[in-house]
Amino acid sequence: MIILKTPDEIEVMAKASRVVAETLEVLKKVVRVGLTTDELDALAEAEILARSAKPAFKGYRNYPKTLCASVNEQVVHGIPSKRKLKEGDIIGLDLGAIVDGFYGDSAVTVMIGQVGEKAAKLVQVTEEALMLGIEQATVGHRLSDISHAFQRHVEAAGYSVVTEFVGHGIGRQLHEEP
């Protein structure tokens, strides 16, 4: 069931989403060779708390960390550890925050130093797919228009969509219907 939000609730969700966006920007700036994913997690938590928000993932379904840090072949939900980032890695940073009972949630992929041609192409194609999907997010379009734009673009480039992790809505719950 889709839960409709009031304008005031949407504004609180926007605040939570701004906390996530600002924190991801900080993380993108510090990601470098030799940094551990645990260090990124600690920074993410500090940044969220400094913005008077609460980490959304920590404790959710027993998840032990604030950040999901997925390196290279990890598709999603990588648990931060003492793993050090290396030249050529790509890392998916997935983050959520709660403000006044409402969630914000987003992810970004960051390239560490000089990455190989395959990794660079993967990041490029997924960013292009995101932009094509956003173009479809207009009045009168359906959610399937967005997902079709993503899928069409990535498959044309020789990739596939991991359908088990294609997104969700947010609100008072981390995972709601879109």
Residue 2 pLDDT exceeds 90: no
Tokens of 16: 């939570």
Q: What is the DSSP string of 88-147?
A: T-EEEEEEEEEETTEEEEEEEEEE-SSPPHHHHHHHHHHHHHHHHHHHH-STT--HHHHH
Closest CA to 4 of 174, 175, 172: 172
Structural contact between residues 73 and 29, judged by C-beta atoms closer than 8 angstroms = no
Residue 139 pLDDT exceeds 90: yes
- The ranges assigned to domains in the chain are 7-165
* For the chain, percent of residues with pLDDT exceeding 70: 100
Residue 177 pLDDT exceeds 90: no
Which segment of 41-55, 77-91, 109-123, 152-166 scores lowest on mean pLDDT? 152-166
Q: What is the DSSP string of 52-104?
A: T-EESSTTGGG---SEEEEETT--S-PPP-SPBP-TT-EEEEEEEEEETTEEE
Q: What pLDDT does residue 50 have?
A: 98
Provide the Cα torsion 20, 76, 111, 109; round to 10°: -40
Q: What is the CATH number of domain 7-165?
A: 3.90.230.10
Residue pLDDT, tens place only, 6-42 = 999 999 999 999 999 999 999 999 999 999 999 999 9
Cβ atoms within 10 Å, residue 3 = 11
Residue pLDDT, tens place only, 80-104 = 999 999 999 999 999 999 999 999 9
